[in-house]
Structure 1
Amino acid sequence: MNARHVALFMPSMRGGGAERVMLNLVYGLVERDVQVDLVLAQEDGTYLSRVPEAVRIVDLRAKRVLTCIPALRRYLVQERPGTLLAAVAHTNLAALVARKLSKVPTRIVIGIHNTFSIASQGAAMKRSRALPYVARWLYPYADGIVAVSQGVAEDLAQTVRMDRSRIEVVYNPVVTPELYQQADEPLSHPWFANAGSAHAELGDETVPVILGVGRLSAQKNFPLLLRAVAKVREKRPVRLLILGEGDDRAALEALVHDLGLSDCVALPGFVDNPFAYMRNAQLFVLSSDWEGLPTVLIEALACGCPVVSTDCPSGPMEILDGGAYGPLVPMRDENALADAMLASLDKPIRGELLQQRINEFTLDYATEQYTKVLHL
């Protein structure tokens, strides 16, 4: 068994914050000459093309994470990595069960990327509602537990009745050299037609562009953002871009129409490079009902884009240092969100100040913390 042989276990590499974070960690580990296997329940997803050649991709060929346990057990028996890092709730459970069945000494480190108590209660996640109970039984068998924020760590300890001292907090490796390179790439979207300017012309007016990024799902509460934008439009012209894809697309498109926003709201879907949009947008808004450590909020700061966020559990309060780097507003309050957006558009925080906040979220810093957790 090679202690510097690490397996990272994910459901897939479809576009999303957790997948992007794990891909960044792959880069950081490879740079430190760690042997990395990317173990996927299903070899699928936009980010596969970005996996470094030095990384071996292992496809367990399973339709669901929990059905890949036999294949994961075989992988552990045959390859015997020093440590396996699982990244999301169902992969955590599958990894712990597979290690128990395999009887190999591979260390299992589990990652908690979301506010556990809330994420396991969603109406669309009925299978997840048993997670707290199963986690109380299985999580104590983990060799390491990593939470992406202090809020997530506190919530996990309370929800699964675990000693808080067992949980380490490591902020996600979000800010990379590649992020800055991509942020400087040109945009072809007509709303950013003015040669990299953060504005688009509409008649004689300069119209600011507001940006939202994330999966089109209940968690992100984009209806709140749309209703807030409708209120902002009563005071001044703005445009809204929401980048992402998901099951709520049809409902969001209907709401855009009902609110009379069809001329100023666009939902172009998932884009491979959201950072160029963050660099050029006037304002980034996170409207979520819950998070773990919202990667997009950190990315927007790194791109120098002013931000407004709901004060949801968990992460925005920590990232924005209690509001020092952008307004925090109550969840599900469209009036407060609209007021904060108007204030930020009128008096934005300077990009240089925003970028001072990101040191703890850089690839180098986070990878160094992970090497300690992974015993490398």
Structure 2
Amino acid sequence: MMKKLMLIVPSLVKGGVERVVSNLSKGLSNYYQVYVIIYHQPIEYDIEGELINLETPTGSYYKKIINTFYRIIRLKRLIKKISPDFIVSFMGNLQPILTLAPIIVSVRNNPDFFTWQEKLFLITIYKLPNVKKIITCSIGIERKLSNHYHLQNVKNIYNPINFKLIGDKLLSQKPLKFEYILAAGRLHRQKGFDILINSFARSSFKNLIKLVILGEGEERKNLEELILKLDLKNQVLLLGAVDNPFIYMKHAKFFIFSSRYEGFGNILLEVLACETPVVATDCETGTSEIIEDRKNGLLVPPKDENALQSVMEELFYDQKLYERLKANTRKSVEKYRMENIMQDWISLFKEVYHS
């Protein structure tokens, strides 16, 4: 009889963590009976297994406090009913931990950029005895949690690439009729799209190619105003969320990852799997674990508009550099295949089960 695995994530909105949960549900369903628990809508990724919505949406500060208790109560009832062998929480970790059930939690971003409340949780709640393991998605985060926050039970497991899914998506038609460079992600200050737009505005190639940005978020209005201010309305396009970002990745001349900080940079794996060269900010955690400078991409310091402009121009004009990077893209991320990462999770569950 299959052991039961419960994966908890706030929602299945289009995002990096949510895509990881979707991939894990598919990869691990061959070995476990999978339950995916979400707190609220939307549901924009499909999963394998049983999906359960606790229907406790976010809202006002008061509602968030009330929902904390609702979620704990409903999770406790659900855990009692399903009796899972393993529980893994991705984001929104407070409530699953406070059920006091044995749990594995995942930290997905650089903790130095957490709010003071989140940092407080790290040095208190995350040290409760029911937290059996803390999983990171980059070695940089693992080291920070161990060395700076004195957490002992930390282990890194990289995010998987679903090569089959990407391969199927790349059968679609070319999405745009013009040449473009690409960026994608939540329209959030963390992602540095304002830095990218300013760098693009100063580049010598801004009238030779368009900049396309995929994704939605609270920074849309600010970015639209910046685009108008820089007179780039026809050259910088905010296309919003799309169903198939991979086909945009495949046909982009190159991809720009402009984050101010990042946990891992899952999108870099997907872009490289689509055989597209990358310019990426060398964030304190994550990026340099994926990008080897001048082998499968180019690294620049975060928040440096001049450096980003210079490196984009170099990649745009230097055809030999471009071809060399492109030739190394896909093979540099083969180790992140689903089957490899699933074995890392299976080994983790065996370790926890026997501890």
TM-score > 0.5, shorter chain as reference: yes
Partner of 1:197: none
**In the alignment, is the contact (CA less than 8 A) between 1:183 and 1:278 conserved in 2?**
no
Alpha-carbon distance in 1 for matches of 2:9, 2:94: 12
Alpha-carbon distance in 2 for matches of 1:336, 1:371: 42
Check if 1:320 corresponds to 2:291: yes
Structure 2 segments unaligned to the other structure (5+ residues): 59-66
Check if 1:73 corresponds to 2:76: yes
Partner of 2:333: 358
Alpha-carbon distance in 2 for matches of 1:179, 1:235: 30
**In the alignment, is the contact (CA less than 8 A) between 2:170 and 2:246 conserved in 1?**
yes
Of stretches 316-325 and 228-237 in structure 1, the one that deviates more from structure 2 is 228-237
Report the Cα offset of residue 248 of structure 1: 0.5
Check if 1:171 corresponds to 2:158: yes
Alpha-carbon distance in 2 for matches of 1:324, 1:51: 35
Specify the code of the residue in structure 2 equivalent to 1:39.
I
Aligned length: 336
Alignment of 1:91-106 (within 5 A): 92-98=93-99, 100=100
The two structures have a TM-score, normalised by structure 1, of 0.85
Alpha-carbon distance in 2 for matches of 1:133, 1:6: 28
Report the Cα offset of residue 314 of structure 1: 1.4
Of stretches 336-345 and 241-250 in structure 1, the one that deviates more from structure 2 is 336-345
**In the alignment, is the contact (CA less than 8 A) between 1:184 and 1:279 conserved in 2?**
no
Of stretches 312-321 and 179-188 in structure 1, the one that deviates more from structure 2 is 179-188
Alpha-carbon distance in 1 for matches of 2:325, 2:312: 15
**In the alignment, is the contact (CA less than 8 A) between 1:232 and 1:238 conserved in 2?**
no
Partner of 1:161: 150
Partner of 2:125: 138
Alpha-carbon distance in 2 for matches of 1:333, 1:187: 32
Alpha-carbon distance in 2 for matches of 1:305, 1:10: 30
1:61 aligned residue (55, 65, 70): 55
Closer/same/farther in 2, CA of residues 4 and 25 from structure 1, 3 Å limit: same
Report the Cα offset of residue 40 of structure 1: 0.6
Alignment of 1:34-45 (within 5 A): 34-45=32-43
**In the alignment, is the contact (CA less than 8 A) between 2:200 and 2:206 conserved in 1?**
no
Closer/same/farther in 2, CA of residues 57 and 233 from structure 1, 3 Å limit: same
Partner of 2:306: 335
Structure 1 segments unaligned to the other structure (5+ residues): 122-128, 194-199, 201-207
Report the Cα offset of residue 162 of structure 1: 1.7
Report the Cα offset of residue 41 of structure 1: 0.8
Alpha-carbon distance in 1 for matches of 2:163, 2:341: 11
Give 3-state SS (helix, strand or coil) of 1:237's partner. coil
Partner of 2:18: 19
Give 3-state SS (helix, strand or coil) of 1:46's partner. coil
**In the alignment, is the contact (CA less than 8 A) between 2:294 and 2:325 conserved in 1?**
no
**In the alignment, is the contact (CA less than 8 A) between 1:42 and 1:63 conserved in 2?**
yes
Closer/same/farther in 2, CA of residues 284 and 58 from structure 1, 3 Å limit: same
Specify the code of the residue in structure 1 equivalent to 2:232.
L
**In the alignment, is the contact (CA less than 8 A) between 1:289 and 1:313 conserved in 2?**
no
Closer/same/farther in 2, CA of residues 66 and 352 from structure 1, 3 Å limit: farther
Report the Cα offset of residue 21 of structure 1: 1.0
